[in-house]
Amino acid sequence: MVLYPAGLTQKLSWDKKAEIVQLDIKPEFVTQLGLSDTTELIPQFGFRDALLQQLALALLNQLQHNINQNQLYIDSLFNTLCLHLIGHYASNKTDINKAYNGLPAFLERRLNEYIQANLARNLNLADMAEVVG
């Protein structure tokens, strides 16, 4: 994955076949989410983020195939994707937790790892709450 903030020029090339999904998110969207207008994404190159990838693919699938024509679902996917980006790859990482009373980043990572490791199980909120204390 590659993450380039708005206004940053990039030139990329691949030496093998690649499937590209490009999302362009307006910087004003950060303000609409109620976060600081000084929050900026930090450029990233060659990183893996399974949750970000799945959110992007789910959003792409909804937009391409207009499944269920459910705008609320599309908006929710987009909001979740943006909040994940800001929470993990922004210069003001603490703002998202303050604004939404979310988990600190280290607990969110721990929970994500637990969920990924136990996808075959029937997960419940009580078990997940125990993981994050």
Tens-place pLDDT, residues 30-86: 666 666 666 778 888 888 999 999 999 999 998 888 766 677 788 889 889 988 988
User: Does a structural domain hold residue 19?
Assistant: yes
User: Does a structural domain hold residue 98?
Assistant: no
**% of the chain residues with pLDDT over 90:** 14
User: Does a structural domain hold residue 20?
Assistant: yes
Alpha-helix runs per DSSP H in the chain: 28-32, 50-65, 71-89, 93-100, 105-117, 125-132
Q: Choose the weakest-confidence range: 4-8, 82-86, 90-94, 125-129.
A: 90-94
The residue that leads in pLDDT, 81 or 100, is: 81
Return the closest-CA partner of residue 33 out of 104, 91, 68, 81. 81
The residue that leads in pLDDT, 26 or 44, is: 44
Domain span at residue 62 reads: 2-93
Q: Are residues 20 and 82 in the same domain?
A: yes
User: Does a structural domain hold residue 23?
Assistant: yes
pLDDT at 11: 76
Q: Are residues 129 and 73 in the same domain?
A: no
Query: 10 phi and psi, to 5 degrees?
Result: -140, 155
pLDDT at 43: 84
Instruction: Quote the number of domains for the chain.
Output: 2
User: Does a structural domain hold residue 123?
Assistant: yes
The owner of tokens 């790892």 is 113
Check pLDDT > 70 for residue 92: no
Whether the Cβ atoms of residue 37 and residue 31 lie closer than 8 Å to each other: yes
Q: Are residues 115 and 56 in the same domain?
A: no
Q: DSSP class of residue 89?
A: H
Q: Are residues 17 and 48 in the same domain?
A: yes
Q: Are residues 8 and 51 in the same domain?
A: yes
Q: Are residues 8 and 64 in the same domain?
A: yes
Q: Are residues 14 and 51 in the same domain?
A: yes
Q: Are residues 19 and 77 in the same domain?
A: yes
Q: Which two tokens stand for residue 33?
A: 């989410």
Q: Are residues 89 and 108 in the same domain?
A: no
